[in-house]
């Protein structure tokens, strides 16, 4: 049964990325209504905001800038959850601007939303194939409410070649050649490097945890 929730209360930001429909379906499968939109007023009025993303940070940030959404997203005070590239867009910057960034150069730097003070860099895969694609386990899981019911060793689905390093904002980690942030959080902003919408029952659990967050659960974390 679909919950009686107005369409404006849960919003998926239309970043122009390709996986919007799959994210919408994952939310609706849990019984929630959700709207895909780039309408500034709808985003501002939403109770929960999801920031999805696939592809490159450079392309996604160009779309967000073109839609005049940068300051809108930066000023949100309600819970915001980023998926994969959406998580990376929450950071200060990404070196995913062009191919030279994979060679350790900095001229591919893409300024991001600067919601969580960490930076996205090429994943140090230590000879493992890139992108890091497929199921992998989480470790060092914090007691953040979005991770309620998630345990170390649980599997989630990843597709990425860039990652945020371990920092004070890491709430779960993963290892692929090196250890990186599988999830990060600061205040009302939460990001998952993996794809919750593609991670079966446990991914659905994270989405449900997010949608069920109370107004005070992220205060003083």
Distance CA 167, CA 77 (A): 23
197 is catalytic: yes
As to burial, measured by CB atoms within 10 angstroms (0-12 exposed, 13-18 middle, 19+ buried), residue 10 is: buried
96 is catalytic: no
Distance CA 31, CA 79 (A): 19
Write down the H helix ranges in 50-150: 57-66, 70-74, 85-89
Could you tell me if 11 and 37 are in contact, meaning their C-beta atoms sit under 8 angstroms apart?
Answer: yes
Could you tell me if 165 and 121 are in contact, meaning their C-beta atoms sit under 8 angstroms apart?
Answer: yes
Query: Cα torsion for 21, 78, 29, 82, to the nearest 10°?
Result: 50
From 84, 112, 174, 192, the catalytic residue: 84
Closest-CA residue to 157 (of 11, 14, 61, 19): 19
84 is catalytic: yes
Return the active site residues: 84, 195, 197
């Amino acid at each position: 049964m679909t919950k009686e929730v107005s369409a404006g209360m849960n919003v998926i930001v239309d970043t122009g990325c390709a996986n919007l429909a799959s994210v919408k379906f994952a939310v609706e499968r849990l019984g929630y209504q959700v709207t895909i939109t780039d309408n500034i007023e709808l985003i501002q009025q939403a109770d929960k905001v999801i920031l999805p993303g696939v592809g490159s940070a450079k392309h996604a940030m160009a779309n967000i800038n073109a839609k005049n959404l940068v300051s809108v997203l930066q000023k949100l005070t309600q819970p915001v959850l980023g998926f994969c590239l959406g998580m990376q867009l929450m950071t200060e910057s990404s070196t995913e601007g062009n191919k030279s960034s994979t060679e350790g150069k900095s001229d591919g730097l893409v300024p991001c939303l600067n919601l969580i003070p960490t930076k996205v860099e090429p994943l140090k895969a230590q000879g493992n194939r890139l992108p890091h694609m497929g199921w992998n386990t989480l470790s060092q899981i914090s007691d953040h409410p979005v991770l309620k019911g998630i345990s170390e060793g649980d599997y989630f689905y990843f597709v990425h070649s860039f990652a945020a390093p371990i920092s004070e904002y890491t709430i779960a980690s993963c290892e692929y050649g090196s250890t990186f942030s599988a999830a990060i959080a600061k205040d009302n902003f939460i990001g998952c490097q993996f794809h919750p919408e593609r991670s079966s029952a446990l991914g659905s659990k994270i989405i449900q945890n997010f949608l069920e967050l109370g107004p005070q659960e992220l205060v003083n974390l």
